[in-house]
Amino acid sequence: LFIDSQIVKWNLDAAIKSFKGDKAAKVVIDRIDVHYQPGHGFTSMGETKEADGKFFISDNKFSKDRLLPVGPLHPEVAQMIDITGEKMKMAGEHTTWPEPHDAIIVRRDRVKTRQVYNLDDFPLAVKDPKDCRVERKGSKVTVYLTSQAPTIGLREFKVKRGDEVTIILTNLDKVEDLTHGFAIPKYNVNFIVNPQETKSVTFKADKPGVYWCYCTHFCHALHMLGVFYRLRSGEALQYQAFYVLSVWEPSAPQREH
């Protein structure tokens, strides 16, 4: 079937009869073409005790001419087949990652997801913008931030060169799908926080220079963006919620924006 690029529907009772020598048993009920080379297949609710025999997913290994070529690596195609009747019918298809291996089909009523997190589930949650602050213990600095479209709770934070910096960010928005992002690319920092979620990141402020801070997930018409100053003198590292980027060398005067 991999070579034929087909999915076949079998009659198990007839297959047993054929195995026992019944030459008249009709084993194959139907065939349907898939595109191309099916590698893995899954039925609706097939991994539960409630398998219903309604749909089949064919994870295909090659898309070939099915999609526009977007480069040397092509996406593949997963195809959903209605298997309820004697004749199978193609119900739909979509692109999937190369080398697809796993899938499940479940009824909609079985999918019960949380749309907004519970703020109290996060011990480090910053529950009010007034609680935004910077705490220092030796060379370790913890920055407590809130995000609420389109602002971040602190306009700036400062640390010394060589400090270990931990940023704790809580998304105070309660609107479904209103996700915020936080990124400092040169420090390999990039994460998102979903509504009412808290996340943190730790890095060492050891690279002099200028670093943009981005909200990487669109949240508002006044989408958040900031700047991150790392001064060679080791006296200031700042995050600010406006669209300005500046850097000062030790011999240069510091300017306010």
Asked whether the predicted pLDDT for residue 239 surpasses 70, the reply is: no
Beta strand 38-43 pairing with 55-60: antiparallel
Residue 106 in tokens: 């479940």
For residue 235, count other CB atoms closer than 10 A to its CB. 13
Give the DSSP letter string of 203-237: EE----EEEEEE--S--STT--EEEEEE-TTSS-E
Domain boundaries, the chain: 6-110, 119-240
Model pLDDT for residues 177-219, shown as the tens digit of each residue: 999 988 888 889 899 999 999 999 999 888 776 677 778 887 7
Q: Calculate the average pLDDT of the chain.
A: 84
The pair of structure tokens assigned to 140 is 């370790």
Least confident of 30-34, 72-76, 151-155, 220-224: 220-224
Model pTM score: 0.69
Q: What is the CATH number of domain 119-240?
A: 2.60.40.420
Pick the closest to residue 104 from 37, 39, 46 (CA basis): 46
Residue 161 to residue 152: CA distance in whole angstroms? 23
